[in-house]
Structure 1
């Protein structure tokens, strides 16, 4: 069944016929949102996606710094369960564990926290640290902090993330979970014009099942997906 404006295919799992979910104001336009019945992804219509210029203008408002204790505390929600998992691997005799922070932004901080904890982490960002060579390598872990909600082509982007991981590698994700459908219109996360995909825990469960990976949800908004050995 081909895609159409009323029932587009899911951009993550490609299920045909996603259902209309909401029509809401975003920036200076109305945006249609859809819900996939298979993977439970909620996504914005393609015609309402922000332009690269709109994205860059919004990103320029971010003031993140590794010297900001509050920002470090925020990132610790992802870093701490990942470090616990990596520490267990190190104790089991794994060689040096190397990672990549995918979508590090203009003030790389998570990579510094992980490196300080003994797990060297490189930085990649398509706007602020765009080194294509890093995407030709594989890593023991890849972090995505407040990144996956920006994906315009989530199937392709998650495919790239999978390709970056070695066997037994971990994909560590932090993103705001959509758990209150009734409050979607008022949700601050939805009102960010660069947020175009919204995930439920079930969405990560679907990915883990499809990939044959192990899923851990150690805290709200945190998902750790571990590849098989």
Structure 2
């Protein structure tokens, strides 16, 4: 056991060094959707636009509107899709709760956006296998999440308090994912994580 806080148990993976909420504390799909519906992801909110801007800039730097992208876990307010679509980019949305477009999971993409999504993965192995399979060769997977570092006091770390956040990554975790799932490289910064196929 890594930590026990407010009766919630967190474990530490000895292999990839991630911190994982014990599955006994996972929400039901109904509870999870209800929680997401409380998020006020207004696509016109300037603060939210600034928050996602590192991903927007990365896509614009690496791809043009002729490439095909997937917003994986696009949520109730798909701001990334909205902003890129306005610039002519071709983005398909998929979200298990708000855009359950399963046809999107049988296509191939030049890039995939996973913005504030990977901390919600109940089965990261399944999800990263899927994401890798959906990418074209030389494709990019752009991720955004808060990484746990040894300098952080976990007991007071705000990011773990969201009941839908179940999997917390470290830089070691990301490097392990890169090697395990076959990505050529991973670039890690505080603002964006990029896996290259």
The reply to whether TM is greater than 0.5 is yes
CA deviations over 1:135-192 (Å, ceiling 9, x no partner): 1001001101110100111111111111111111111100111114651111111000
CA RMSD of the aligned region, Å? Answer: 1.6
C-alpha displacement at 1:84, in angstroms?
1.6
Aligned counterpart, 1:13: none
Pairing 1:49–2:49 present? no
Alignment of 1:7-22 (within 5 A): 20-22=1-3
C-alpha displacement at 1:116, in angstroms?
3.2
C-alpha displacement at 1:37, in angstroms?
2.0
How far apart are the structure 2 equivalents of 1:202 and 1:144?
A: 19
TM-score, normalised via structure 1 length: 0.80
Pairing 1:121–2:122 present? no
Aligned counterpart, 2:166: 196
Q: Which has the higher contact order (CA 8 A, sep 6+)?
A: 2
Q: Which has the larger Rg? A: 1
TM-score, normalised via structure 2 length: 0.93
How far apart are the structure 2 equivalents of 1:171 and 1:208?
A: 11
Pairing 1:206–2:187 present? no
CA deviations over 1:19-56 (Å, ceiling 9, x no partner): x210111xxxx111111122111101111111112212
Aligned counterpart, 2:37: 60
Pairing 1:149–2:119 present? yes
| Residues 33 and 43 in structure 1, CA contact (< 8 A), matched pair in contact too | yes
C-alpha displacement at 1:81, in angstroms?
2.4
- Structure 2: gaps (5+ residues): none
| Residues 39 and 203 in structure 1, CA contact (< 8 A), matched pair in contact too | yes
- Structure 1: gaps (5+ residues): 1-19, 91-95
Aligned counterpart, 1:216: 187
| Residues 177 and 221 in structure 1, CA contact (< 8 A), matched pair in contact too | no
C-alpha displacement at 1:212, in angstroms?
4.0
How far apart are the structure 2 equivalents of 1:134 and 1:144?
A: 14
Q: How many residues align?
A: 196
Aligned counterpart, 1:226: 196
How far apart are the structure 2 equivalents of 1:121 and 1:180?
A: 36
CA deviations over 1:96-142 (Å, ceiling 9, x no partner): 21101001111111012223344321111111111111110010011
CA deviations over 1:167-222 (Å, ceiling 9, x no partner): 111111001111146511111110000000000122111111221421112x3042
How far apart are the structure 2 equivalents of 1:64 and 1:132?
A: 23
